[in-house]
Chain A
Amino acid sequence: MTLDYENTREEIQSYITGLIKNFCSDWVVSGIIRDENQIRFSSNKIDINKNWKDLRFQLFLSNKRRTLEMAITDLRKTAIKETLVYCKKLLDNAKRNSFYKKLPKGPFEYIDENIKIFDKSVLELEEKSIDIIQKAIEASLQQGAKRVAGSFFFGYTDTKLQTSEDLEGSYKKTNLNFRVRAFAEDMYATGEGLSVSTHLTKYFDPVGAAEEAGEICRMAVGGKKGTPGTYNIIIYPKVSTELQAPTPAIGMNTYIKKMGLSWLAGKKEGDKIGSDIVSAWDDGTIDYGLASAPFDDEGVPMKKTLLIENGIVKNYFTNTSLSRRNAESTGNAGITIPKPTNTVFNAGDCTLEELMEISEKPTLLITSTWYTRYQSYAPPGILSSLPKDGMFLVRKNGEILEPVRELRINSNHFHMLENTLAMGKKLKQVYTWLSTSNNPVFAPFMLISDIQMTTGTK
């Protein structure tokens, strides 16, 4: 199948570039082949088994500093020609994009063979995928779950990029994304576990994720409605995708900041935004990272960029056009709007048990949250977020006292970064469904102080 699509990609990519040269001074065409599977399951049974095979072209087109982005999956040549005629008309009538300067010239050296993002064994997984799910379901049930639901994505993409500046590159990448949720009879007693990687044998542990989900679910049985008030919270790595990662992954996007739509508006490099123990990077080069790749959407090699160091703003991530004069792109194109790759937090030196022990105030252990919503994107970015699965009140000596439920986090990202007291010693890659940061995050457990928790009044 791959060969069919590669031949088609060659033919169509050549057809597209041939046409757009006639009306664009600057262009980028990426042909992306995808072969991906998803198995969804619930109530311990498989609900559906899916496969997507497609070829799409992502186009950036510019003429006289007018710009547009277009995605094409309609592969008929007549349709492509019609679409490109329409694109020309759009460009002729568009206003100039004052943020757009140029495409990068290169030459660049791409080091795809050095980044671990492709594992051939993922391509041969089809027959084994149901066994993986069955084992995970059983593991969760053994931990005490009554029902288990989840989703297992696996597959690969093959990207070929060409630009008007004669940059050309290609890479293949695999992905594994397993998420499992365990349920007890008690409606509020649930637990979630996840495991993501690019390689089957590296950091991919679906059974471990299912055991974690089952254990949280079992421990949450019999919980009581929590008392509203101010608590310290200890968050699981995946909770960072809602509470901590949005600052480096969204707030530190140059475009969003320029537009004033970041809660970091007004904060410059050198400003303090978090506690001394918080550092974060955007890292498109990290091994097994779901967003790692040799190059970004305009052909610049992906990099590791320090965004926050010991609570101080060091950089905002950017593309070529939005980078400062004499500064380089951080390898985060989106050509018109930059995008994050993998957000990586620093690790600390505490185990989860130690985090629970050192917290001096009433403390909640929060295993997941969802539905984070903002009153406004302007500073300070006031939000609330809902703990979804098992949540536990922790005794001062570090023991779990009891499961609690029906409490809502009310805070803002500054407060949470400034009040981060301690970090766990181990990073975990997390990528969760519908998360606010919407990118892969490598995060440890974190202890954050003085978070307001509220509950319903009726």
Chain B
Amino acid sequence: MKQYKDLAEFALEKSLQKPCEYAEVRIEENKSDTLSFLNGKMHIGNLPIDLTTDAFSRKIGINVRILANGGIGMATTNQLSKESVMKAIDFAYKMANKSGDQRKNPIKLSNEKTYEVSWQSKYKINPIQVPLEEKVEFIQQFLDLFNEDYPIEYLHIFVLLTEERNTYFINSDGSAISSHVPRVAFMPVIIGIQSGGKNEQLMNTYATTSGWDELMSWSILNEVRESIHTLANIITKAKRPPEGEIDLILGPRVSGIISHENCGHPHEADRIRGREGAQAGESYLRQHEVGFQIGNECVNVYDDPTEPGSYGFYLYDDEGVKARRRELIKNGKFNEMLHNRETAGFYGTKSNGAARAVSYDREPLIRMANTYFAPGDFSFEEMIEDIKLGVYMKSFTEWNIDDKRLQSKYVGQEAYLIENGEIKDLILKPALEISSIGLFSSVDAQGDQKSMQWEGAFCGKSEPGQGCPVWTGGPNIRLRNIKLARGQ
């Protein structure tokens, strides 16, 4: 990126020659190599699912954002000449001005501290530099699992995504920030099918910014091997879920996705203000003030970009604000929104560093990083010991939530009956259909630090879409007095 610092400075200097309130320039380079095996067949190219725009790509470009006359204009180009950059600046300024004319109240950004800093995630081996042969060898171990005899058939997809993101950011306040983050994500998708059509699907994401060596140190192979057997057992042995009111234990994968969907998204200040109204939606918290009691006092949900090695790791956001942990729900109360400089300016507060973009041609938006249920102090045994009739939903398959982030559904994948304090049979597709408030108000216990787990994910938001790398996490959590539905 060094060779483009001059161009960025040129762009900022020229932007500031316009009568504007604020200007920023981001030069960003993205490399992506996504190797996949579909039913054992190697595929080097785009997939029919939108994980990234381009599975294999080399991108670089410049993004200029200008606040003038109370409006914002943004222009991007990958022609890195002064002439092209000048055209981008002219456009951004002109359109900011015109947008400002249409607004009655001008956009104001929060005042923030400035930084001149260079940061990166800590790693030993950059995943994108790992030779193809080594990546193939890694995936081959998983393909070999299907050489064994099983009582059912399997379809399988293994996706190995390696990326590198380098940025240089400067703004009119005086910040100048360089970053370097390599990422790796491994995604097994396995569908077990019994003759006759009964089937079950699992999809996990193991992801980190701590390098290839970190991913290799995880016991993923054992976990996938176990999952293959579990899928067969679910299909051949699982029984109907219980009816009536029960107690429910949700495993870390489920508590993690809930922390993201039912808490993280509705706490995004752009949704609360309505800026995502036509895209990702608004938030039920629009009707409530900070301090509103969302759930039981034991519930704490946080989002922390600074978690070392996390898939959503960053130290400074894409508006140059220093990252910190955000305490979204604290003691069951609506405690803090996720902010960028625009929403912080509107609410008269400081940004908490939640502005993220996924490439040079995307605007920084309010995004989660690593969202999680904070652990409590219950062991698993303590959580189930007084449950007479209950369900342990260890993982999930189908899920969705409305665009106000209030009405949600999670269908269990690996799930067990609990009777008189003991784990019993596998049960088939128990469905939790519940409001966010109903859910958080039903939580009465959280597992201890030992049960805490993280899962990688791509959070979708905005238009054009930005699939943002995140972790979701949590311990086991217990919900009381829940009525389950049965998935189809």
Interface residues of chain A, those whose CB is within 8 Å of chain B, are 1, 4-5, 8, 38-40, 42-43, 45-56, 60, 67-76, 79, 83, 89-90, 93-95, 97-99, 130, 133-134, 147, 149-151, 179-181, 183, 187-188, 192, 250, 253, 255-256, 259-261, 334, 336-337, 339, 370-380, 382-386, 388, 406, 408, 410, 412, 433-434, 438, 452, 454-458
Contacts and interface: CB of A to CB of B under 8 A. Distances in A.
A75 B80 contact: yes
A434 B460 contact: yes
B59 A73 contact: yes
Contacts of B403: 370-371, 386, 388
A53 B56 contact: no
B102 A72 contact: no
A71 B155 contact: no
Given A45-B102, A49-B96, A71-B54, A93 B133 contact: yes
Nearest to B438: A458
A149 B273 CA distance: 11
Contacts of A79: 58, 60
A458 B295 CA distance: 13
Given A4-B84, A69-B45, A56 B78 contact: yes
Interface stretch (B15-23, B191-199, B376-384, B449-457): B191-199
A259 B155 CA distance: 8
A79 to B, nearest CB: 6
A388 B276 CA distance: 14
Nearest to B413: A375
B398 A74 contact: no
B78 A454 contact: no
25 contacts: A38-B464, A40-B278, A42-B275, A42-B276, A47-B72, A50-B75, A51-B75, A51-B76, A52-B75, A68-B44, A70-B57, A71-B53, A79-B60, A94-B42, A94-B44, A147-B274, A149-B276, A188-B404, A253-B48, A260-B193, A408-B433, A433-B465, A456-B434, A458-B434, A458-B435
Contacts of A8: 79
Interface in B402-418: 402-404, 407-409, 411
B38 A183 contact: no
Interface string B254-285: 00000000000000000001111111011010
Given A90-B44, A98-B41, A408-B433, A456 B103 contact: no
Interface in B116-162: 131-133, 136, 155, 157
Interface string B458-469: 001001110000
Contacts of B429: 375
B69 to A, nearest CB: 11
A43 to B, nearest CB: 5
B277 A97 contact: no
B191 A376 contact: yes
Contact of B76 (A54, A147, A406): A54
Interface string B373-407: 00000000000000000000000011111111001
Interface in B260-319: 273-279, 281-282, 284, 286-287
Contact of B439 (A5, A374, A406, A458): A458
B58 A73 contact: yes
A374 B398 contact: yes
The 6 closest A-B pairs by CB, nearest first: A149-B277, A69-B45, A458-B438, A49-B95, A71-B54, A376-B201
B407 A187 contact: no
B482 interface: yes
Nearest to A387: B402
A71 B99 contact: no
B201 A46 contact: no
A365 B191 CA distance: 34
Nearest to A340: B48
A125 to B, nearest CB: 12
Contacts of B205: none
A187 B287 contact: yes
Contact of A180 (B38, B191, B278, B411): B278
B485 A457 contact: yes
B39 A260 contact: yes
A386 B398 contact: no
Given A53-B84, A385-B400, A433-B463, 8 more contacts: A43-B275, A68-B56, A95-B41, A97-B42, A260-B191, A374-B398, A386-B402, A454-B485
Nearest to B154: A260
Nearest to B411: A375
Given A79-B60, A406-B407, A183 B282 contact: yes
B71 interface: yes
A445 to B, nearest CB: 22
Contacts of A5: 79
B55 interface: yes
B57 A73 contact: yes
A46 B99 CA distance: 6
A95 B39 contact: no
B421 to A, nearest CB: 24
A297 to B, nearest CB: 10
B348 interface: no
B230 interface: no
A68 B55 CA distance: 10
A70 B38 CA distance: 19
Q: Which of A1, A70, A79, A337 gathers the greatest number of chain B CB atoms within 10 Å?
A: A70
A55 B275 CA distance: 30
B98 interface: yes
B419 interface: no
B72 A69 contact: no
A260 B155 contact: yes
A384 B396 CA distance: 14
Contact of A378 (B46, B77, B155, B411): B155
Contacts of B282: 183, 187
Contact of A74 (B29, B102, B103, B483): B29
Q: Which of A45, A372, A374 gathers the greatest number of chain B CB atoms within 10 Å?
A: A45
Contacts of B46: 69, 334, 336-337
Contacts of A38: 463-464
A206 to B, nearest CB: 13
Contacts of B463: 38, 40, 151, 433-434
Contact of B132 (A94, A99, A149, A385): A94
Contacts of B157: 261
Contact of B98 (A56, A93, A130, A250): A130
A334 B54 CA distance: 13
A311 B338 CA distance: 48
Given A42-B275, A434-B465, A75 B78 contact: yes
B279 A433 contact: yes
B424 interface: no
Contacts of A51: 74-76, 88, 91-92, 95
A366 to B, nearest CB: 14
Q: Which of B39, B78, B155 gathers the greatest number of chain A CB atoms within 10 Å?
A: B78
A369 to B, nearest CB: 10
A43 B342 CA distance: 15
A382 B488 contact: yes
B402 A42 contact: no
Interface string B15-52: 00000000000000100000000110111111110100
A54 B278 contact: no
A38 B363 CA distance: 11
A455 B103 contact: no
Contacts of B2: none
Contacts of A188: 404
A218 to B, nearest CB: 16
A97 B434 contact: no
B73 interface: yes
A135 B74 CA distance: 23
A255 B43 CA distance: 12
A312 to B, nearest CB: 21
Contacts of A253: 48
Nearest to A87: B56
Given A46-B99, A97-B42, A336-B43, A375 B398 contact: yes
A181 B277 contact: yes
